[in-house]
């Protein structure tokens, strides 16, 4: 303690300089943080202002109607909103079991030699640009999917049954289900990596005592590991969902892009992001542009809500 | 230290000076003509030293940017009506011609075997004709073995000048289409799938037996797609090829179209391809900087004189010579701050 004070007194010039430096540094950091916050606030405000003509003109109909007609200047977002929610939910449904399997294998079962290659491969999936997923989806996955999944299911459905209704569509592999599968591959690495981190937070003693009581691996995972990470896992899922909601290019390529409510799992649909990507560049009318900006605001609110929920869940896990 | 500032300042001045001697024209808009504008710009810079900076941001963006005067010219596939031009204080003229071609995927059917009329095409896109062996299609295709396949309609999902031209044509040929759907760069399609861009439409058509779509002529040609023959105003079924697009442009009555507002749809002439359209340039009628205005018009004047071969090599169709004369005459309307034409 005294030594420290002495050394301070020994170099007074340097301390003064250091204090100035410290204050500048603090100010810079504060500036960086508030700049980001201001940008975020500005973004919301400008989206709200830009989309206002659409909200003012259509009111609640903007959210209820699925009528999207640029010629008549009538815009209803419910088709795109439903398409976004359905494709993201389906993607989550496919991605979650896989991600859970990957995470559990990597943490609990994987031979040490394989741990790195598999972990890296999953992380690499996250690095693939979404446009590449889109092209691969349209040119490679869609034809394969049409031939090996869609056609067999469509022909197996008994005529006149409910199955025929929910599997009807054009057998070329582009539609809600195909888009959801591509989305599932895209969000898989995010969920898997977060789940792996969560599983690693379980103290070895907890797991070892379960084994000590005579549980087998499956029982340990089901009764000890998974309940332990439960809240955090919900956060991980929300992060994946957040990414699925906003994904644009890959979905635009393969979802079939038709407005209105999807009537079957093979039907083509549209999401909020795909609609904006498709129409913004050529939107000339004021109302068309406003409606697209309003769509952006809706997507922002949905994503924000999901991410806030994720934050809350993960925070609770860390604290407990 | 001082020396370094002087050097930097001198460098900056030198840069400004060189920028002034080698001017840059900026433009933004339609994606469809972007390849030919880029090719013209390259040759023009080599000859004159004047560079062209063209941003292919879409027709809607092009109109917005020229209205806001952030660029020297805008480019659009969707022509502005004379009233709108007058309100915005803009002058419009065409540069090159392209066409829209219906393409199909029918097993056992070769390019040019299927003949369609505009009314049939509208009924297919409305979802009224659902199968290829429908008697309505068989009527114009005697002798062709039409398969018993459901028709899958493919359209552009992105807002596009190609869709504008295509839906304008359908509106022209079918009253139902005009009243139920209408013409725009994106419409509420009654049926079918949307593909992103020409390649998205082409991929969906190629992957689906019984599909029909529409793409730009250059794209159909470069990818050897199975096209349909279309019936023109003269009642003939014509092939989508450069000469037939030129025929449509040559027969059009440009001189009686104020502001060159003309869709080259269903033009008279035995060879005219019915779904033809020009792409357009927008400039301000009142130029704040006369020299800048002159540079823009000089570029297009040069392109009309020297750019036809480059355009044709990219499968665009150059304008007929008499149309170019009309366009140059129309440039009288582009005036500087002194009220005198900037181009003479």
Whether the pLDDT of residue A161 is over 90: the answer is no
CA distance A273 to chain B (A): 12
Residue B1 tokens, joined:
């230290």
pLDDT digits (tens, 9 = 90+) for A109-123: 888 888 888 888 888
Give me the mean pLDDT over the A291-306 stretch: 92
- Name the 3-class secondary structure at B74: strand
Whether the pLDDT of residue A13 is over 60: the answer is no
CA distance B9 to chain A (A): 29
Distances from the Cα of B329 to the Cα of B248, B297, B318, angstroms: 22, 12, 18
Question: Do the beta carbons of residue B182 and residue B167 sit within 8 Å?
Answer: yes
A71 and B182 within 8 Å at the Cβ level: the answer is yes
CA distance B294 to B280: 18
Q: Report the residue count for chain B.
A: 344
Pairing, β B193-195 against β B152-156: parallel
Nearest to A262 by CA among A160, A152, A180: A180
B56 vs A contacts (CB less than 8 Å): none
CA distance A197 to chain B (A): 38
CA distance A295 to A82: 12
- Name the 3-class secondary structure at B130: coil
Residue of chain A nearest B60, judged by CA positions? A282
Whether the pLDDT of residue A56 is over 80: the answer is yes
Looking at chain A, the whole-number percentage of residues with pLDDT higher than 90 is 34
Which phi and psi (to 5°) does residue A127 adopt? -90, -5
Domains in chain B with CATH codes: 2-98+277-333 (3.40.190.10), 100-250+265-276 (3.40.190.10)
Looking at residue A14, its pLDDT comes to 58
A252: nearest CB among B78, B182, B196: B196
Which phi and psi (to 5°) does residue A155 adopt? -75, -25
Looking at residue B140, its pLDDT comes to 92
Mutate one of B63, B81, B152, B207 to test the A interface: name it (highest A CB count within 10 A): B207
A170: nearest CB among B152, B160, B182: B152
pLDDT digits (tens, 9 = 90+) for B250-304: 888 888 787 788 888 999 889 999 999 999 999 999 998 888 999 999 999 999 9
Looking at residue A119, its pLDDT comes to 85
CA distance B110 to chain A (A): 21
Spatial CB neighbours of B136, under 8 Å, sequence gap ≥ 6:
B120, B123, B129
CA distance B235 to A203: 82
- pLDDT confidence tier of residue A96, bands split at 50, 70 and 90: very high
Which of the two residues, A126 and B12, has the higher pLDDT score? A126
Whether the pLDDT of residue A28 is over 90: the answer is yes
CA distance A177 to chain B (A): 14
Cβ burial of A5 (10 Å; 0-12, 13-18, 19+) is: exposed
Looking at residue A179, its pLDDT comes to 93
A252 vs B contacts (CB less than 8 Å): 157, 196
**Among A72-81, A170-179, B327-336, whose mean pLDDT is lowest?**
A170-179
Looking at residue B3, its pLDDT comes to 52
Is A53-319 CATH 1.10.3720.10? yes
Residue of chain A nearest B171, judged by CA positions? A71
From chain A, which residues contact B within 8 Å (Cβ)? Answer: 67-72, 138-139, 142-143, 146, 170-174, 252-253, 256-259, 268, 270, 274, 277-284, 289
CA distance A9 to A19: 14
Pairing, β B229-231 against β B237-238: antiparallel
Residue B207: DSSP 8-state: H
The structure tokens 């750019």 sit at B307
Question: Do the beta carbons of residue B259 and residue B80 sit within 8 Å?
Answer: yes
pLDDT digits (tens, 9 = 90+) for A193-227: 889 989 988 998 988 898 898 888 888 888 888 88
Looking at residue A51, its pLDDT comes to 93
> Is 0.90 exceeded by the ipTM?
no
Return the number of CB contacts < 8 Å for A and B. Answer: 96
CA distance B68 to A166: 49
CA distance B218 to chain A (A): 21
Looking at residue A2, its pLDDT comes to 45
A256 vs B contacts (CB less than 8 Å): 193-194
Give me the mean pLDDT over the A67-92 stretch: 90
Buried b / exposed e along B193-206 (16+ C-beta atoms within 10 A): bbbbbbbbbbbbbb
Give me the mean pLDDT over the A33-53 stretch: 93
- pLDDT confidence tier of residue A88, bands split at 50, 70 and 90: very high
A282 and B188 within 8 Å at the Cβ level: the answer is no
CA distance B156 to A37: 38
Residue B71: DSSP 8-state: S
Buried b / exposed e along A184-199 (16+ C-beta atoms within 10 A): bbbbbbbbbbbbbebb
CA distance A64 to B325: 54
Residue-range domain boundaries for chain A: 53-319
CA distance A109 to A53: 57
Spatial CB neighbours of B314, under 8 Å, sequence gap ≥ 6:
B35, B36, B39, B218
B208 and A172 within 8 Å at the Cβ level: the answer is yes
B184 and A71 within 8 Å at the Cβ level: the answer is yes
Looking at residue B20, its pLDDT comes to 44
Looking at residue A12, its pLDDT comes to 54
Cβ burial of B35 (10 Å; 0-12, 13-18, 19+) is: middle
CA distance B342 to B344: 7
* Radius of gyration over every alpha carbon of chain B, rounded to an integer in angstroms: 23
Q: Which residues of chain B have pLDDT under 50?
A: 1-2, 11-21
């Amino acid at each position: 303690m005294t030594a420290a004070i002495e050394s301070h007194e020994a170099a007074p010039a340097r301390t003064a300089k250091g204090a100035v430096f410290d204050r500048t540094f603090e100010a810079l950091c504060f500036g960086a943080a508030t700049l980001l916050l201001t940008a975020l606030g500005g973004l919301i405000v400008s989206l709200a202002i830009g989309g206002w003509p659409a909200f003012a003109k259509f009111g609640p109909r903007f959210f209820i109607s699925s009528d999207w007609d640029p010629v008549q200047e009538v815009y209803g977002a419910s088709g795109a909103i439903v398409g976004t929610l359905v494709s993201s939910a389906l993607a989550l449904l496919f991605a979650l079991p896989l991600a859970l399997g990957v995470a559990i294998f990597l943490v609990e079962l994987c031979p040490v030699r394989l741990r790195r290659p598999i972990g890296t491969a999953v992380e690499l999936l996250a690095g693939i640009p979404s446009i590449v997923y889109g092209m691969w989806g349209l040119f490679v996955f869609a034809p394969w999917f049409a031939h090996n999944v869609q056609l067999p299911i469509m022909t197996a459905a008994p005529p006149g049954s409910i199955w025929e209704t929910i599997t009807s569509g054009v057998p070329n592999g582009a539609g809600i289900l195909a888009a959801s599968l591509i989305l599932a591959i895209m969000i898989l690495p995010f969920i898997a990596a977060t789940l792996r981190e969560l599983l690693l937070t379980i103290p070895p003693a907890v797991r070892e005592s379960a084994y000590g009581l005579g549980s087998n691996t499956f029982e340990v995972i089901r009764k000890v590991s998974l309940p332990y990470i439960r809240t955090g896992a919900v956060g991980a899922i929300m992060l994946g969902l957040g990414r699925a909601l906003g994904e644009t290019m890959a979905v635009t390529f393969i979802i079939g892009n038709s407005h209105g409510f999807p009537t079957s799992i093979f039907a083509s649909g549209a999401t909020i992001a795909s609609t904006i990507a498709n129409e913004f560049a050529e939107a000339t009318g004021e109302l068309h542009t406003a409606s697209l900006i309003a769509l952006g605001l809706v997507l922002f609110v949905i994503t924000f809500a999901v991410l806030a929920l994720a934050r809350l869940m993960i925070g609770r896990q860390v604290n407990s | 230290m001082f020396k370094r500032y002087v050097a930097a300042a001198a460098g900056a001045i030198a840069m400004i000076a060189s920028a002034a001697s080698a001017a840059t024209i900026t433009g933004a808009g339609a994606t469809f003509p972007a390849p030919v504008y880029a090719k013209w710009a390259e040759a023009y810079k080599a000859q004159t030293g004047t560079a062209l900076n063209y941003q292919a941001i879409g027709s809607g963006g092009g109109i917005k940017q020229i209205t806001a005067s952030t660029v020297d010219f805008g480019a659009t596939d969707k022509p502005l009506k004379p009233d709108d031009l007058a309100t915005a204080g803009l002058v419009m003229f065409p540069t090159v011609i392209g066409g829209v071609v219906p393409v199909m995927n029918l097993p056992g059917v070769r390019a040019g075997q299927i003949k369609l009329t505009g009314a049939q095409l509208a009924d297919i896109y409305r979802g009224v004709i659902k199968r290829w062996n429908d008697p309505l299609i068989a009527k114009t295709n005697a002798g062709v073995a039409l398969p018993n396949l459901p028709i899958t309609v493919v359209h552009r999902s992105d807002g596009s000048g190609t869709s504008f031209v295509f839906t304008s044509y359908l509106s022209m040929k079918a009253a139902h289409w005009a009243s139920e759907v209408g013409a725009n760069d994106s419409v509420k399609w009654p049926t079918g799938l949307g593909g992103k861009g020409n390649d998205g439409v082409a991929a969906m058509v190629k992957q689906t037996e019984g599909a029909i779509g529409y793409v730009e002529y250059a794209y159909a040609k470069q990818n050897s797609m199975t096209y349909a023959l279309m019936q023109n105003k003269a009642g003939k079924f014509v092939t989508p090829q450069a000469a037939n697009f030129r025929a449509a442009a040559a027969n059009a009555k440009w001189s009686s179209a104020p502001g060159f507002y003309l869709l080259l749809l269903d033009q008279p002439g035995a060879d005219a391809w019915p779904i033809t359209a020009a792409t357009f340039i927008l400039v301000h009628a009142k130029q704040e900087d006369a020299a800048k205005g002159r540079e823009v018009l000089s570029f297009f004047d040069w392109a009309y004189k020297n750019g036809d071969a480059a355009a044709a090599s990219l499968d665009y169709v150059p304008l007929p010579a008499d149309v170019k004369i009309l366009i140059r005459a129309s440039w009288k309307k582009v005036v500087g701050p002194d009220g005198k034409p900037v181009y003479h």
